[in-house]
Chains A and B, each alone.
Chain A
Amino acid sequence: MKYLIKRAGFMAFTVFAVCALTFFLMNVIPGGTAELILKHTLIGLEESATEEQLSQISSRYNLDDPLYLQFYWWVKEAVLRGDIGTSYIYNKPVLYLLTLRLPATVQLAGASMAIATLAGVSLGIYSALQENRISDHILRIVTLFGVSMPGFWIALILIIIFSLKLKLVQVSGYGNLENLILPAAALSLHSVAAVMRVTRTSMLETLGQEYIRFAKAKGLPVWKIISRHALKNAMLPVVTVIGFQMGNLLGGAVVIEKIFAWPGIGSLLVDSISARDLPMVQGCVLAIVTMFLLVNFIVDILYTHLDPRIRYG
């Protein structure tokens, strides 16, 4: 319990520090914030703003105040009233925009995670059982190349094959399950390979243990050995790696969302950064960091659950 409180305190601190860092960095990037807001709302990318327009925007969003004051106000509003600001570009509360965009990313990451877990674990077990046979080698080589290809390249190749050549799924869109398949598959590829490799190694090690050999000698069928005995002990590193993958998935989502026109938080973040939509950037970062920390927290709990030897003091 004490550990949990301490842990929660760390998480809160990390979130705060990340927000502060973001705020500082966003203000260090050159180019007037007011100018960029205007370019992305009123005047068009190439046109120049007049002095009058600039000062109007600056005073509307208090851009001329000292940075620490701006940040102080943001934190104060966020903590006291749960208000994390209003987007400069969309002119709507950041919280509202996040509720619109967050589900899409969560859905995408969730589906990828599901694919990574299901495919990764089963392929890993298969590969371990087939150790050093031809199918094991093929699987390992394929996944090795899979993790080594740039994500957006894979995504584009997948679109060309599955949408354009085979006409199986749509290129872009959001809303139904069919739209989810391709982006989720593209995003999960790296994770599938990682989970598979860990499962394989870990399974092999477990299968080599004394008690498994004993079970085999007793004549238990293979599937029973695996499900009753081997899997349980082999899962420890797998769960860890799945937790790590969540971070990668959130990072990879930025690119995948761009390609598939997926209305998620990753593409929103990138767009907001270039439009200097500071409250929106803060909101996205806040959401992403919180998600990331929570997932890691859950993984740690699962970890203790699986391996009673680990106890947090």
Chain B
Amino acid sequence: MVDTMDNAFAKKLKKEDVLITEVYGSEFSKRLFQRKDMLFALVALLLFTGLALFAPFISPYDPNANELRNKNLSPSEDHLLGTDYLGRDLLSRILIGARTSLSIAFGVVLISLITGTALGCAAGYYGGIVDEGISRVIDVFLSFPGVIFALAIMGVLGRGVFNLMLALSIVQWAKYARVMRGQVLSIKKQEFVLSAVTSGADDFYIIRRHIVPNAIAPLIVLATIDIGHVILSIATLSFLGIGLPADVPEWGAMLSAGKEFMRTAPYQTIFPGLAITFVVVIFSILGDGMRDILDPNHEGGEIY
């Protein structure tokens, strides 16, 4: 698989006369405004982020205050989205939950992106034994069942937002490293890198100035789409009983805790479920759009 990926990227890059750096400036915004779906997604994302940031001020109730007698209510004037199985206000929980979900997702993607870029660069740039070592580690992590990692980490460190983030990052980083390695492999053969090497610039400088800026585009795209995937993974882990406990307002945990009530009080799964779906959709559109903008010669759909 590794070789396939490398080849695909190599092929693509050969076709590219324009290097990605040149697209960054004015081109970017021009292309951005050509796409309506992207604009829509950006606006929606800003809205969600805003809600998440200001959640404590706008949520009508304390998200953890329960009123057992008002449990499982349908939407009404008092509770705009209804209440959950302990009588907690769903709107408040979803608003506060946006913070947890989004921050975990951003955190995981950021950690994986940084780790993946660093290791991928090292592997691709130095080649030889370094590459061999890192590549094997990447292989192992890519074929490892993520559940075990999550369980082991949550078991050792206990459940919590940070630990969940760590567990998911450990599962995710290898994907980035693999893509990065492929990118670096083809870029380092390009003229401008070769000339930088001959002119005696040190490795770190070359990597920082020449390699990373030219190789990062597909990773940014991948990262954007991944934010949605991470939110989905949290939900899955919660379903398996190793995510966050249900008293932490988080969409995946809410959805998973509410599944028992799907027939009697469906709103407590519908709303968190929709929230997750919308955010994932937003990031898919953004990722797709980013790809078109950053990587105009890209062929054939999602190859990540």
- Tell me the A residues contacting B by CB distance below 8 Å: 10, 13-14, 17-18, 21-22, 25-26, 28-31, 144-145, 147-153, 156, 160, 194, 197-202, 205, 236-237, 240-241, 243, 247, 251, 254-255, 258, 269-270, 273-274, 281, 285, 288-289, 292-293, 296, 299-300, 303, 309-310, 312
For B263, the chain A residues whose CB sits under 8 A away are 160
A25 touches B300 (CB 8 A): no
A156 touches B259 (CB 8 A): yes
For B277, the chain A residues whose CB sits under 8 A away are 145, 148-149
B259 touches A197 (CB 8 A): no
B255 to chain A, nearest CB (A): 6
Any chain A CB within 8 A of the CB of B77?
Answer: no
Query: Can you name the residue of chain B whose Cβ is closest to the Cβ of A300?
Result: B4
Decide: A292 near B156, CB < 8 A? Known: A151-B236, A243-B1.
Answer: no
A65 to chain B, nearest CB (A): 21
For A240, the chain B residues whose CB sits under 8 A away are 4, 8, 303
A198 touches B302 (CB 8 A): yes
A237 touches B145 (CB 8 A): no
For B286, the chain A residues whose CB sits under 8 A away are none
Query: Can you name the residue of chain B whose Cβ is closest to the Cβ of A281?
Result: B148
For A289, the chain B residues whose CB sits under 8 A away are 143-145
Give B183-217 as 1s and 0s: 1 = Cβ < 8 Å from A's Cβ atoms.
Answer: 00000000000000000000000000000000000
B151 touches A254 (CB 8 A): no
Give B272-304 as 1s and 0s: 1 = Cβ < 8 Å from A's Cβ atoms.
Answer: 010011101100110000000000000111110
Any chain A CB within 8 A of the CB of B140?
Answer: yes
For A151, the chain B residues whose CB sits under 8 A away are 232, 236
A237 touches B301 (CB 8 A): yes
A237 touches B147 (CB 8 A): no
A237 touches B255 (CB 8 A): no
For B145, the chain A residues whose CB sits under 8 A away are 251, 269, 285, 288-289
For A255, the chain B residues whose CB sits under 8 A away are 236, 239-240
**Interface residue ranges of B133-148 to A (CB < 8 Å):** 136, 139-140, 143-148
Among B284, B302, B303, the most chain A Cβ lie within 10 Å of the Cβ of: B302
Among B145, B151, B281, B285, the most chain A Cβ lie within 10 Å of the Cβ of: B145
Sample of 22 A–B contacts (CB below 8 Å): A13-B136, A14-B140, A21-B144, A148-B276, A148-B280, A148-B281, A148-B284, A150-B273, A152-B239, A153-B255, A156-B259, A160-B263, A198-B303, A202-B301, A237-B303, A240-B4, A255-B240, A285-B145, A293-B143, A303-B4, A309-B11, A312-B3
For A309, the chain B residues whose CB sits under 8 A away are 11
Query: In the bound complex, what is the Cα–Cα distance between A292 and B143 (angstroms)?
Result: 7
**Interface residue ranges of B1-26 to A (CB < 8 Å):** 1, 3-4, 7-8, 11
B142 to chain A, nearest CB (A): 8
Query: In the bound complex, what is the Cα–Cα distance between A181 and B270 (angstroms)?
Result: 25
